[in-house]
Amino acid sequence: MLSYVGISILKGQTLTNIEKSEDNEEMFFYTNDGKKYKMYHEEDCCESVSIEDISGDLNDLIGEPIIMADEVSNNDPINPDIEFDSFTWTYYKLATVKGYVTIRWYGESNGEYSESVDFYKIDSNQ
């Protein structure tokens, strides 16, 4: 079972592992107290949302408490010839004393569907 929590729940927690799917559509975060979190977009029909870029070293987030866990999004065009009616950039900014990482997601659609990224806690019975 998934419970929506938001990325800020990671602040103060210590990660032991981070996994990214090969298709760039999911990330999993594991904490030292046995919690597991999932970052993804539940696709509906006419949209596409995936990880566009990761700036920084994910290993810098392992083994030290998270001191920053923020989400920022916008839909400012970077290409005036964009072919989709709607798009959203979502940035997840995470940091420990070892370093800083930005995970950039990009979503596009015909304007009728969500382009948001969700962050969920996976209940331990799964």
Q: How confident is the prediction for the chain on average, in pLDDT?
A: 85
Place of tokens 């997601």: 105
The alpha carbon torsion through 38, 43, 44, 45 (nearest 10 deg) reads: 180
Cβ(12)–Cβ(65) below 8 Å: yes
50 falls in which pLDDT band (50, 70, 90)?
A: confident
Q: Is the pLDDT of residue 80 over 60?
A: no
Query: pTM of the prediction?
Result: 0.84
Cβ(31)–Cβ(83) below 8 Å: no
Element holding 47 (H helix, E strand): strand 47-55
Q: Is the pLDDT of residue 31 over 90?
A: yes
